[in-house]
Structure 1
């Protein structure tokens, strides 16, 4: 009987450890299998999404109202969210933004503005800070597509193409948009099919290569949604375009920094191209956003749109991100322009993961001790372990 208990415990530990080590949750639904989230106070539809909705998810609407999901029926794919508060986006320096807009009207875009600012810094008495205060960061972004088969039915003929879907063309337009504004953009077209639970694990390797080999300042994972076309269709500057949803993974140590970046981008986009940013969805997953505090996951339209709409929006979105990150238009509380906190790559997340692993192993070890020793004997062994642990801590403190 005791041997059966040991075997059972080993299987439980293996299952827990495996689930702890693989957080690449691919919670996307097929087109047509989307969630509808209602305002719990009015029963009006707040939003729809092809991402799995879970209790505790949050949602920032286009008019900057924050909601939290409180009830979810997975079978019917219906959820309800409570209003939390109105969110104040970062303040934009309108004078600085006007300079950006003037530069955008020129043939070289923001590249001309950045060059002029750098030359002014070199010739002046100051230290010649980079636009936006990102002194230690190069203007480089990395772009990739975790769900590389995603497509747009009216243009591509199918909603999914294994050899590489229309989403890759949209990502290319986004890369082109950055390059037009003086930002070095690397678009990695690696195909990460199939669209299964391992997609984020496969794209993680791509994201890491973009960071280590290209030295990018930001990572952008480009997707398209699986909801009705009415949710995304819009016009920007009189052109047919698509709204863009930003998705933030709640389950990683860079959550706050990535949220700050998204808030900066939305604040700038709302001023430059009203209606471009549809909303921000705070989902349960990680989405490889633990790799950098400057990660973005984008829903560029939906599967029933003509691909030209998100391609048009890609250029506008690149302008907004470039301005938010490097344009020096966001003010701090004192009215000075600030940047999105570049903050050093922290191992806080790794440390948290290690501590969690220790907790799992430790708990499993105690359970194993109980099963293998019996009630009275296990208490005695636990007491000996406590004494040894105290002695270890004492030795560690004495070494400091």
Structure 2
């Protein structure tokens, strides 16, 4: 084989390789499967929710909060349930009253007057002006009608919900420290990051510590009308795996009872989930889930203004 023939053969293979590489690049660039895919974890998880039914199949709660067996839920009607099974996005609960009546079931109607305020806060209130701290573990949470998306990393609409609560409490003479610290991303470590914020806030020895969130659930679960005004609803969340469970729960019951008395229909209930949610750090630390991603920011702000009335009634008592 002469030199010229060899050169043509090498040239042929070089051109062939170039064509193959070019075809691969073009196919990769324009193939639908290679294009960036919509996030199927963060946003979709926030948009998903768990439906909890009683033993008769009646829906008692829809929530985006992670649901596990042995979690508990005190409904808006003060019926106490325990989660007995979870399968995907469906869970079953039964009334705890029926399981162990000796546990002082709280299926009866509660009133603010019938529940004592936690002694830790009451004693402190006698010595110092009332002081509340507010922060946001999931600082990206937002509302679709306003932002067009359920999250805005570092600048979530939820900050404005906290600001509305802070404003209402301030008008009542309660001093406020509202932290705007971001704790993104919205992942399993968010509570570890917000724990540093809480630790700093607790140096102020507040009467209460509120972590303001919004839930993920159908709009119908969180939409209501109070005094003829469309507003969002509120659910209190407590970590059942913490040494402050009892004082946290007493505090939550007090606020729910006051809200039920002042603004019936505002509260969805109290959910006791697995974990501590940093509530192990303080006996009067609560999470408030205000509305869902489908509520408007305005509805959520109205909700916390009504919620403020209940907080004022309890802390100021």
Q: Give yes or no for TM over 0.5.
A: yes
Query: Of the candidates 197, 200, 217, which is equivalent to residue 206 of structure 1?
Result: 197
Corresponding residue number in structure 1 for 2:283:
293
Unaligned runs of 5+ in 1: 1-26, 95-129, 328-400
1:131, 1:80 → 2: CA distance? 38
Q: Does the aligned pair in 1 maintain the 2:43–2:150 contact within 8 Å?
A: no
1:197 to 188, 196, 214: 188
Match for residue 309 of structure 1 among 295, 299, 305: 299
Match runs of 1:379-398 below 5 Å: none
The answer to whether the aligner puts 1:77 opposite 2:105 as a matched pair is no
Q: How many residues align?
A: 262
Cα distance in 2 between the residues matched to 1:90 and 1:305: 28
Partner SS, residue 173 of structure 2: coil
Q: CA deviation at 1:211?
A: 1.0
Whether the 8 Å contact between 1:28 and 1:51 is mirrored in structure 2 is no
Give the corresponding residue for 1:272.
Answer: 262
Matched, 1:153 2:153: no
- Give the structure 1 partner of residue 19 of structure 2: none
1-structure distance, mates of 2:95, 2:276: 24
TM-score normalized with structure 1 length:
0.63
What are the equivalent positions in structure 2 for 1:8-157 lying under 5 Å apart? Answer: 30-40=45-55, 42-73=56-87, 76-85=88-97, 86-88=106-108, 90-93=110-113, 134-157=125-148
The residue number in structure 2 matching 1:23 is none
How far apart are 1:88 and its partner, in Å?
3.5
Which structure 1 residue ranges, 4+ long, deviate > 4 Å from structure 2?
130-133
Rounded Cα–Cα distance in structure 2 between residues aligned with 1:137 and 1:57: 36
Give the structure-2-normalised TM-score.
0.78
- Answering whether residue 309 of structure 2 is matched by residue 319 of structure 1, we say yes
Report the CA distance between 1:28 and its aligned residue.
11
Name the CA distance, whole Å, in 2 between partners of 1:90 and 1:80.
25
Shift of 1:33: 1.8
SS at match of 1:197: coil
Counterpart for residue 156 of structure 2: 165
Distance in 2 (alpha carbons) for counterparts of 1:310 and 1:279? 16
Distance 1:325 1:243 in 2: 21
Contact 2:184 2:190 in 1 (8 A): yes
Unaligned runs of 5+ in 2: 1-41, 98-105, 115-120
In the alignment, the residues of structure 2 paired with residue 262 and residue 204 of structure 1 have an alpha-carbon distance, to the nearest angstrom, of: 20
Structure-2 residue corresponding to 1:342: none
**For 1:137 and 1:283, how far apart are their aligned partners in 2?**
32
Q: In 2, distance between residues paired with 1:146 and 1:163? A: 11
> What secondary structure does 1:219 align onto?
strand
- What is the deviation of 1:191? 0.6
Q: Which residues of 2 match residues 244-283 of structure 1 at below 5 A?
A: 244-283=234-273
